[in-house]
Amino acid sequence: MFQPLIEKGFQIEFHSHAEAILSVDFPDASTQLETALKDLTIPIEEIIGSGGGETKGTQRLRKALAGSGWHKVNFTIEKRINGQPRESQSHEVDHVRTFEKGVIALEIEWNNKDPFFDRDLENFKRLHAEGGISLGVIITRGTSLQADMIALVKRFAEQKGLTSNEDLATIGLNPTHRQKANVVRRMQRDIGFPQAWAEAFVADKFGQATTHWRKLGDRVHRGVGNPCPLVLVGLPSSIVTFGEPEAVLEELLQEGAEADDEPAGEA
């Protein structure tokens, strides 16, 4: 299952018999997920221009899922005593698909604060316990993408010939005084502007306290969300592309410049 994705470097994990459930009861779901993910690409300019928020690539993935019937649903669980409402809880899930054998819920956590994993997993746990869903899926940045992010950003800076904070204006970015000072401080290690800026950018926008594979794994392996069956998907660094046509990217960079000062994780 998901072999084409695994061959492309995607990380796939199944928990609480999710693989058996998906393969037997929801074969169409696995096909739809594989189709939506297998051609996913994110130009490096989208990562830079997004300011750490949700990239256009992530939005394209959402649209692909929506095209297969995965839509946002607000689940409401209400308990009554003698017909009188006593307790009501709402759980909003971004992507939900109803199949003949049940319901699957899916969340994409590209770059939120890592406590959002707790929210997603607890939502899945409650919905599964109440019979609202059969399975939960979480998609996030994989190990290779998180580990390679500095190298990817540095490669972009080198290709663009960026040598100072002032050069960032040429790619549509307007860093704050704090961000500029951070780069200058790192350059005191005699590492050059591309490396210093890449380190500062990634620390600021894609730090360890954001949603990525290790943070998700930490929670799942200590039992958060258990016993809801789970499928975890880690996006690999191989989805990041270089050399896309300039005309396609100008609009993305303009949009990204406006978002550059937003806190990491606001998607």
55 in a structural domain: yes
> Which amino acid does the sequence have at 176?
T
For 137, the enclosing helix (H) or strand (E) is strand 135-141
**Rounded CA separation 68/65 (Å):** 5
42 in a structural domain: yes
Backbone torsions φ then ψ of 160, nearest 5 degrees: -85, -5
150 in a structural domain: no
DSSP 2-58: -HHHHHTT-EEEEETTHHHHHHHH-HHHHHHHHHHHHT--EEHHHHHHTTTS--HHH
Structural domains counted in the chain: 1
Condensed to tens digits (0 to 9), the pLDDT of residues 16-41 reads: 999 999 999 999 999 999 999 998 99
79 in a structural domain: no
249 in a structural domain: yes
147 in a structural domain: no
Are 62 and 71 in contact, with CB atoms under 8 Å apart?
Answer: no
Condensed to tens digits (0 to 9), the pLDDT of residues 93-149 reads: 999 999 999 999 999 999 999 999 999 999 999 999 999 999 999 999 999 999 999
Give the CATH number of the domain where residue 233 resides.
Answer: 3.40.91
190 in a structural domain: yes
Query: Distance of alpha carbon 181 from its chain centroid, rounded?
Result: 29
